[in-house]
């Protein structure tokens, strides 16, 4: 199902652990302490000078570069795998044999589709197990990025398979029914159905799926939660909810995201993020996530995915008939509405995704840049924002300036170097220029940045 999941914008920032020696603070933490220490009118100019000083983009460590290049190799392996496996199912006639098994088990057509999908996924999971284990467990431990136990990895792996198998068994019959009823316009109707389906997924995922893998809870730091809720009120968000998740049982990396739809919408902070970033840095990250919510990025992304998927499905409609006609003897089916055609759909979708995914990722990068802009305008804490990205790079083994091919085909976010430099330079309020998103803020006529507020959070020492 990799080709379908490509369109879901499942993104995470990449970066790696830094090192500290003795009791000395890293340069960025020392600067933050100085910035927090200034108070009153006497220190205003010094504080402003520190806040406006640019944060340099750090060079990647040798370990980060190895992680980067090995990740690129694994991406290429994944692309080749995404072609070879469904092609093998097709040209050996194995997919048709799975359909025959499903017909003996399910008998009724709807059940046949569900049983076929479960069998197909189970075989795929077994085939992909060595690669999945290496990528998800061995490699993460080898680079010092994982806390996950072997038993936890296996449990998450099995749960992931069961969730996907159940969803496919429940819903795959819908597009195949459309294929049977409308063989000429199925691509259009299916792409339109993607909108309510993704909305449904976003609605249930935070409350039914995500808790299967990690424990979610209200924030334990009540003081920081109060600051976040105040920031949400300033951003014009009523009834906002912020959760922390115990990702430290799985990983040492840091991240945050916005998820959910309607009543389940929420901002989620990894507990590793709360442990490794200072309060001002966390507030910027939360402001960034609030930008996704206020600017309507979730729904607009769903619409873009629906359009791109419609284009891909139309291309499949145009070429699949000729392929089936030519290879029907080897495939073991004569029409696309036969459930045995699923590997053909996945194969063509995978190939087309290589051409279409740059459009999707480019749109995602635009959203991320605008969310950064929103977070900066909301908090006006540029230095803390830049330092947050430096920490993301160091904690997640990131490379700040990836190559152009990586940016085009793999990057859903602007590069870390671009984001740090944007934080260093974007200050329209200092030039007397209007903020692009100031109209969304409750107090945009009398906006105060976080550095004008007395900071009462202690600076945490990192072990």
Name the residue ranges covered by the structural domains of the chain: 59-215+293-452
First to last CA, the chain: 41
Query: Could you say which DSSP state residue 427 is in?
Result: -
Query: Could you say which DSSP state residue 291 is in?
Result: H
What local confidence, expressed as pLDDT, does residue 49 receive?
55
Question: What is the rounded distance in angstroms from the CA atom of residue 132 to the CA atom of residue 260?
Answer: 27
> Taking the model in full, what pTM does it have?
0.84
Question: What is the rounded distance in angstroms from the CA atom of residue 421 to the CA atom of residue 307?
Answer: 33
Pairing mode, if any, of strands 266-270 and 242-245? parallel
What local confidence, expressed as pLDDT, does residue 237 receive?
87
16-64 pLDDT, tens digit each? 323 333 333 333 333 333 333 344 445 444 545 556 789 999 999 999 9
For the beta carbon of residue 238, count every other beta carbon within 10 angstroms: 6
Query: Could you say which DSSP state residue 137 is in?
Result: I
Question: What is the rounded distance in angstroms from the CA atom of residue 204 to the CA atom of residue 407?
Answer: 31
Phi, psi of 152 (to 5 degrees): -65, -40
Q: Which of 289, 394, 418, 421 is catalytic?
A: 289
Contact 106, 115 (CB under 8 A): yes
Structure tokens at 262: 């309607």
Q: Which residues of 320-336 are buried (b: 16+ CB within 10 A; e: fewer)?
A: beebbeeeeeebbbeeb
Output the CA angle 440-441-443, nearest 5 degrees: 145
What local confidence, expressed as pLDDT, does residue 51 receive?
63
What local confidence, expressed as pLDDT, does residue 380 receive?
95
pLDDT along the chain (463 residues), means of 10: 37 31 33 37 50 89 97 97 97 98 94 97 97 97 97 97 96 96 96 92 93 95 93 87 95 92 89 96 96 94 94 97 96 97 97 95 97 97 97 96 96 97 96 93 58 39 35
CA atoms within 13 A on the CB side of 348: 21
Specify whether 394 is catalytic. no
What local confidence, expressed as pLDDT, does residue 144 receive?
96
Structure tokens at 127: 């085939």
């Amino acid at each position: 199902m990799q080709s379908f999941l490509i369109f879901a914008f499942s993104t995470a920032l990449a970066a790696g652990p830094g090192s500290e020696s003795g009791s000395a603070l890293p340069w960025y933490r020392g600067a933050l302490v100085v910035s927090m220490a200034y108070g009153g009118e006497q220190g205003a100019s010094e504080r402003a000078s520190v806040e406006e000083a640019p944060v340099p983009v750090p060079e990647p460590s040798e370990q980060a570069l190895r992680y980067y290049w090995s990740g690129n190799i694994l991406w290429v392996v994944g692309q080749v795998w995404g072609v070879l496996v469904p092609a093998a199912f097709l040209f050996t006639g194995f997919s048709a044999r799975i359909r025959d098994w499903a017909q003996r088990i399910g008998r009724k057509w709807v059940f046949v589709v569900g049983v076929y999908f479960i069998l197909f996924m189970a075989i795929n999971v077994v085939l992909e197990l060595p690669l999945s284990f290496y990528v998800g467990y061995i490699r993460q431990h080898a680079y010092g990025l994982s806390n996950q136990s072997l038993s936890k990895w296996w449990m998450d792996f099995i749960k992931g398979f069961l969730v996907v198998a159940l969803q496919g068994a429940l819903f795959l019959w819908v597009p195949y029914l459309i294929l049977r009823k409308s063989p000429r316009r199925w691509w259009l109707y299916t792409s339109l159905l993607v909108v309510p389906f993704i909305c449904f997924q976003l609605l249930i995922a935070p409350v039914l799926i995500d808790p299967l893998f990690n424990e979610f809870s209200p924030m334990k730091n009540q003081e920081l939660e109060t600051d976040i809720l105040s920031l949400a009120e300033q951003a014009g968000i009523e009834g906002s909810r912020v959760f922390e998740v115990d990702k430290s049982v799985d990983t040492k990396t840091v991240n945050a995201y916005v998820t959910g739809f309607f009543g389940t919408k929420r901002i989620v902070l990894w507990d590793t993020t709360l442990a490794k970033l200072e309060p001002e840095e966390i507030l910027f990250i939360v402001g960034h996530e609030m930008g996704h919510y206020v600017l309507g990025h979730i729904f607009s992304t769903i619409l873009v995915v629906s359009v791109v998927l419609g284009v891909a499905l139309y291309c499949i409609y145009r070429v699949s008939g000729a392929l089936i006609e030519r290879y029907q003897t080897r495939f073991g089916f004569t029409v696309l509405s036969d459930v045995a055609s699923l590997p053909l759909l996945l194969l063509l979708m995978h190939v087309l995704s290589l051409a279409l995914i740059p459009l999707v990722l480019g749109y995602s990068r635009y959203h991320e840049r605008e969310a950064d802009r929103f977070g900066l305008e909301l908090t006006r804490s540029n230095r803390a924002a830049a330092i947050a990205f430096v920490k993301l790079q160091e904690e997640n083994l990131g490379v700040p300036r990836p190559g152009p091919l990586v940016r085009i085909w793999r990057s859903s976010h602007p590069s870390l170097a671009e984001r740090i430099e944007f934080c260093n330079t974007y200050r329209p309020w200092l030039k007397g220029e209007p903020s692009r998103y100031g109209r969304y803020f409750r107090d945009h006529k009398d906006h105060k940045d976080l550095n004008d507020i007395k900071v009462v959070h202690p600076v945490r020492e990192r072990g």
